[in-house]
Structure 1
Amino acid sequence: MALRGCPFPEAMELLFRAMADDSWRVRKEAVSVVLQAQPLSAGALEALIDLLRASDNAGLRNSAVESLERIGEPAVEKLCAHLEDPDHDLRKFIIDILGNIRCAACVPLLVRALDDEDMNVRVAAAENLGKIGDRSALPHLLKVLDGGEIWFKFTVLDALSSIGIPVPLAKLEPLLQEGLLRRATYDCLAVIGDAKCVPLLLQGMHEKAKNARDAAAVALMRIRGRLPVQERETLIDLQLRELAGTLAAKKLIDSLHGEDPVLIALLAQLCGIMRDERAALPLVRAARAERLRAGCLEALRCIGEPVLPLLLEHFPVAGSNERAVIVQLIAETEHHGSDELLLSALEDEGAEVRRCAALAVGRLAPAGAAPRVAALLDDDDPQVREGALDAVQRLAAADRDGVCAICSKLLRSRDERKRRDAAVILGALSDGERLALLVKDEDATVRRAAVASLARVESPQAPAALVLSLSDEEPEVRIAAAQALAERGGRDVLAPLCLALNDPDPWVQTAALKGLAGLGDAEALPGVMALLDKAQGQVLIAALNTVAVLGGAKALAPVQKALSHSDEEVVEAAIGILSGFGTEWIGEHREELLGHPHWMVRRSFVRAVAQLKGAESLAVLDQALARESDPLVKSEIAELIDRLR
């Protein structure tokens, strides 16, 4: 750390010694000092490259590799000069460094290294041509496939996948004759293959070797995802359905028991297309993983009715997560023959099973379900309680009397959580009379829930109750009231929302402004304009948006004025608003915004200019690039210029 202040030539020997230290912290600090000394002289770069010969100290060599990779393009010329070095290890390290720098100018030299006398160097050349991804390397990589060692071909196939450019199938198909290359070939086809590969991959799903068979299935599903819908059906789906019931299908289904989530997800999709009911239990087991559940459920739905008897038979011995999946499937397929199972599952030991059962009962509405679901409103698990509340609301349509009785009991409770649940359920019952009473409840969360429910209820009591809630002592209730009035809409809510603009809480003001913008009534414009002079932060941003919505292009003067505001977020918002009304404002404010002290404003401005003016913005962007000091903004401006030129 002390060496940071020293001239690099004087400190170099000590820094290189530190890069060989036993402690990785010391090595990291030494690399940091070397990078800080940029640009390095030609001699320093040579000395750094020479450290790659340190075969007896991996720490030193790795530190040198990291330093050269992070130096990047300034080191490329010196690195390339050593590609003919007698030391094959040095040649390999240099090729790896060039690949990580992603220098396209090095491609001809790496192509030449494909013929290196050392196998490790040849493999490194192929691997790093893939990293660079330059298509000019393609014919040279394909030439390697005509001969050479199997291990070398493995790396070439990976490189072709990384480059991602389609290659003639005739070049890859012969590789399937090599047992050790089949999986790698299928993996390559997964990335660069097209419809012409489909027959080959369908045949590949009959492979004896599991890894090759699975790779062929994955490649087929990836290509399917790139095909138009009609081609998927004719080229792939019809052929997969013919596989149902075969030994090949059973082997693919067995692969659902694996550990690779990407493989399982694609195989689940394939099983859904095959519609082989033998996949039912493996899909349920795979669905225990949260990230795989949606895909497995979709596959089970595609297989359809035949899976339910199998799953219902399995239910008593299934694990908790499996029971939850089965219950969810019963609900989604609307299978009405399992009412007793669902009602029993409401008392399952697994919280997720209880939650899914509540949602299923709410959807299927079996007779007498309401009180049994309502019992879960007291469940220890909050997600179960949430599912039960959703279910009771759904049951209101099928069993109004039963749900009304539940509500009456909840309303008499001294527990505010139960009264809050009652407020939510009363919304589903469209009971405006009792909701109007709840907006006066002693608990603010109950009042807020009642206000939110009133927004969806057509009741003569609703408007007055919502207006009353605009004067509630709790800001959260007033916010909910403003949102509810805006949601109801109509001329009657205009005056109350305008009144809420004077609320002392900024979030209430913001909710009122968004509501007025949603109404789109220009009569509110004077009240919003009056708020601009005293508004700050989020309120000012919401007010500017509302002015633009209500007044259109004629009301943009305060928005342009906001471009000079001291709050950079307000300036960004103003840029966004003005961008929706053409380009006239750009010339007048260009200098001010290009020189703005905050980088986010400068970035927002150049983005807006590029989007609005296209190629005509290049002069402004060139000017911005010349003045810009922030590396992030500078990089983005350069990308915009490259895209537009």
Structure 2
Amino acid sequence: MTESLSQEERRNILDGLENSDEEVRRLSVERLLLLPAEESAERLVRCLGDSGWRVRKAAVERLVACRKDEAVQERLVASLADGENSERRNAASEVLVACGTRVTAALVTQLSSRDVDVRKHVVDVLAAIGDPESRVPLRDALADDDPNVRAAAAEALGVVGGADEITHLLGLATQFGEDVRVRLSALRALSRLEASVEVTALGDVLDQPLLCPAAYGLLGSSTDPQAVEALIKGLSSGSRSNREGAMGALLRTLGCLDGDEASRLIERLRAAATENEHLVESACDRLEVADLGSRMMLVQFLGLLEDPRAVVPILRAGRDDAIEELADRTLEALSGGLVEALEASWSEIETDLLPRAYSILGRAEGDVAERLLADALGSNDVQLRCSAAGALGRGGFFDRLPDLVRRLEMAARDVDADADEEVAIIVRSIVAMAEHSEAVGTGIDVQLIEVLSSRLAGAVEPVRRAIAQVLARLGREQDEDVIGYLLKDESAAVRRAAVEALDRFGFDRTRDALRLALGDEASSVRIAAANVLGRSNSLDASEILVRQLADDDPRVVCRVVRSVGHLCRTLGVADAEIERLIGPCLDEEAMVALASLEALTEVGGGFAGRLAVEVLTRPEPEVVRAAIVCIGAHGNASALVEILPHVSHTDWSVRAEVVQVLSDRAVRKGLPDLLRRLEVEEDAFVRESILRAVERLEE
């Protein structure tokens, strides 16, 4: 906070706070930190009760920035007693949480307030802060006259409590005549503390319909042998919430077991599911309507049972993006019957689920999975064909390589708009098959290369490209002739893939081929050659690359510059030499200048920051921003000073980058510039960045 403010500026801020326009009030709130500390604190706390949510949000953020101020803390605690303005009370609670343990003592004094709402809010804030020092006061609050406060205190102890609180919470949970909400909160708190409670200690809790599910949840952490018996019995309960509570608890119990103990419990669960014929069916039905947390639990529990009836329901549950990965991993983990269950239900599986079904089959083994995937290659739906092709490649179904190649040839001749995508996916599938863990080192990879190479003569372009891409990953010395043949291919895509295959050999062997590739008519081939040279770890390669800086395609020049930078960093080239190689490119068009700055950022060193300063006067915002990034990473104190004027740059991304650099590098000289910019900054993102930077620099 600062007092260096003119009377007119002060009047404008105060008048703005009374304006009927919410946006004007918000802007005035954001400038309140320019007022003297005492006054700004009082007015900010008052603004927490503004009718406009954006004004309240701005006030919260400003108060969070000065949360270490005791005057601010006192006013916030006092705001909890505002019974007429709930918005102000809620906003004050939010800031108090951000204040952290600094306000614990002040909050505890309010637990004796006569206002029950104040006591309830205080308990909630203490829970959110999580200070262990609040345990004893919260334990005392378990005896509050109001059940809402007692329930909140129990829940709070579930967050901040320790071993000493377990006895108090258990007594509250089992206390006959206590409000059911309080008992329920105590049970949930015990579960959160992972307290180990014996079944007999729960008294009548398991007989209470509203408490039983929470009690089952608590037993999931119990070491009492009778806990498992009670939970398995709960699977047969006529209450859905009881059954699901028992399921979740049994999953937690399993998480604490290993080896034979876990296996024995799983067998008991499967036996219980066999005895209770409705358990699996009801759980499957719930997968369609339950809340997210329950559905995730049900997917895991049904996966343990390995019941074929659950396979398709679990697959359907994966329609939800939040569950998809869990559902698929659960199905893949089934030790037996998965493929057969999918095959038996194949006609019931909706079309939108088939791609995921194919992916799951791709991770399975056996003839049935292979047949289902191979059959899908003949589907009329291109998306299904693509999904099946990808699964065959990832799954390493090597015997189906001829099927993939035939499908590739058909797709290459197809004039349909989706044909190009199908070609690309099948090519990736073939490459994935060649890179499969069971292919490398077993000779299968060699067989794949030989099968592909045998089809080279007269092959369509996608097949030739697939061969080149496989060689780029698995090529051997004896494949040099095939690579050389592909380097002369009429297709630029094939030639590029062949150039990438040269990366597998030493620079001395590929020098001439790469030099020729740099003269290729296709820019994509020249870019690939520059990329390979950049990874060659050879100083001679940098001289070859420098000559390519005269290329007429700026995209090629960009790749060349980046490759030169990578070589310089790898080989430890002297600063003066790097400046000679990269420096002139900073004056080229924007695309090349950007690549040069990225190269300098990778190389590093004080000279990189010095060179970047020279670019700050360029008109292109993206170039200036890249220069600021480089200066932020490698610039010295004088270089950092040079970026200060750009806190007022016309482009918001440049301003934001300057603010970030000043904050990261702790450039306190930038504080006046940041505060002046804060007065006029209109971009919300930049404004928030400035506020965070100011707070950090003032610490």
Distance (Å, rounded) in 2 between the aligned partners of 1:399 and 1:480? 24
Shift of 1:116: 0.8
Shift of 1:7: 4.7
1:390 and 2:428 aligned = yes
Aligned in 2, Cα 1:39/1:215: closer, same or farther, shift over 3 Å? closer
**Correspondent of 1:159 among 174, 189, 194:** 189
Amino acid of the structure 2 residue aligned with 1:178: Q
**Correspondent of 1:184 among 209, 214, 217:** 214
For residues 336-485 of structure 1, what are the structure 2 equivalents within 5 Å? Answer: 336-337=367-368, 341-348=372-379, 350-362=381-393, 363-364=396-397, 365-366=399-400, 369=403, 370-376=405-411, 380=418, 384-393=422-431, 394=433, 397=447, 404-405=454-455, 408-411=458-461, 420-421=465-466, 423-425=468-470, 431-439=479-487, 445-455=493-503, 465-466=513-514, 468-469=516-517, 476-482=527-533
Aligned in 2, Cα 1:53/1:187: closer, same or farther, shift over 3 Å? same
Distance (Å, rounded) in 2 between the aligned partners of 1:46 and 1:90? 15
Q: CA RMSD in A?
A: 4.7
Shift of 1:84: 1.8
String of CA shifts for 1:304-337, please: whole Å, max 9, x gaps. Answer: 5534344224323421233223333444333335
**Correspondent of 1:239 among 258, 268, 271:** 268
Aligned in 2, Cα 1:120/1:165: closer, same or farther, shift over 3 Å? same
String of CA shifts for 1:270-306, please: whole Å, max 9, x gaps. Answer: 4343332222322332344455455444544554553
Aligned in 2, Cα 1:160/1:531: closer, same or farther, shift over 3 Å? farther
Q: Helix, strand or coil for the counterpart of 2:51?
A: coil
Distance (Å, rounded) in 2 between the aligned partners of 1:570 and 1:308? 57
Distance (Å, rounded) in 2 between the aligned partners of 1:532 and 1:65? 56
The match for 1:314 is: 345
Q: Helix, strand or coil for the counterpart of 1:180?
A: coil
Gaps of 5+ in 1: 412-416, 487-493, 518-523, 546-565, 573-596, 603-628, 636-645
For residues 497-536 of structure 1, what are the structure 2 equivalents within 5 Å? Answer: 505-512=560-567
Amino acid of the structure 1 residue aligned with 2:497: A
Q: Is the contact between residue 65 and residue 695 of structure 2 (CA under 8 Å) also seen in structure 1?
A: no
Overall identity of the aligned pairs, in %: 24
TM-score (norm 2): 0.64
The match for 1:96 is: 124
Distance (Å, rounded) in 2 between the aligned partners of 1:534 and 1:244? 75
Distance (Å, rounded) in 2 between the aligned partners of 1:160 and 1:361? 49
String of CA shifts for 1:195-253, please: whole Å, max 9, x gaps. Answer: 8544443333333222222232222223323433444224x233234345332344444
Shift of 1:93: 1.9
Amino acid of the structure 2 residue aligned with 1:375: M
Q: Helix, strand or coil for the counterpart of 2:243?
A: helix
The match for 2:305 is: 274
Distance (Å, rounded) in 1 between the aligned partners of 2:41 and 2:325? 57
Shift of 1:373: 4.0
**Correspondent of 1:24 among 42, 53, 58:** 53
String of CA shifts for 1:330-370, please: whole Å, max 9, x gaps. Answer: 44333335766544422535554222211345543348523
Distance (Å, rounded) in 2 between the aligned partners of 1:176 and 1:312? 43
Distance (Å, rounded) in 2 between the aligned partners of 1:360 and 1:68? 53
Q: Is the contact between residue 471 and residue 478 of structure 1 (CA under 8 Å) also seen in structure 2?
A: no
Distance (Å, rounded) in 1 between the aligned partners of 2:184 and 2:88? 30
The match for 2:655 is: none
- Pairs aligned (count): 542
Distance (Å, rounded) in 1 between the aligned partners of 2:365 and 2:564? 45
Gaps of 5+ in 2: 1-12, 18-31, 435-444, 550-559, 583-596, 606-629, 637-660, 667-692
Q: Is the contact between residue 111 and residue 125 of structure 1 (CA under 8 Å) also seen in structure 2?
A: yes
Amino acid of the structure 1 residue aligned with 2:137: L
Distance (Å, rounded) in 2 between the aligned partners of 1:151 and 1:220? 25
Q: Helix, strand or coil for the counterpart of 2:144?
A: coil
Amino acid of the structure 2 residue aligned with 1:176: L
Aligned in 2, Cα 1:28/1:367: closer, same or farther, shift over 3 Å? closer
Distance (Å, rounded) in 1 between the aligned partners of 2:308 and 2:251? 20
Q: Is the contact between residue 243 and residue 274 of structure 1 (CA under 8 Å) also seen in structure 2?
A: no
1:82 and 2:110 aligned = yes
Distance (Å, rounded) in 1 between the aligned partners of 2:198 and 2:43? 54
Shift of 1:50: 4.5
Aligned in 2, Cα 1:318/1:457: closer, same or farther, shift over 3 Å? farther
The match for 2:243 is: 213
Amino acid of the structure 1 residue aligned with 2:366: H
Aligned in 2, Cα 1:634/1:163: closer, same or farther, shift over 3 Å? farther
TM-score (norm 1): 0.68
Distance (Å, rounded) in 1 between the aligned partners of 2:448 and 2:48? 75
Q: Is the contact between residue 502 and residue 532 of structure 2 (CA under 8 Å) also seen in structure 1?
A: no
The match for 2:640 is: none
Aligned in 2, Cα 1:540/1:500: closer, same or farther, shift over 3 Å? farther
Q: Is the contact between residue 145 and residue 171 of structure 1 (CA under 8 Å) also seen in structure 2?
A: no
Distance (Å, rounded) in 2 between the aligned partners of 1:224 and 1:122? 33
1:328 and 2:379 aligned = no
Q: Is the contact between residue 91 and residue 121 of structure 1 (CA under 8 Å) also seen in structure 2?
A: yes
Distance (Å, rounded) in 1 between the aligned partners of 2:41 and 2:330? 62
Aligned in 2, Cα 1:373/1:176: closer, same or farther, shift over 3 Å? farther
Shift of 1:464: 5.1
Aligned in 2, Cα 1:258/1:407: closer, same or farther, shift over 3 Å? farther
**Correspondent of 1:115 among 143, 152, 157:** 143
Amino acid of the structure 2 residue aligned with 1:481: V
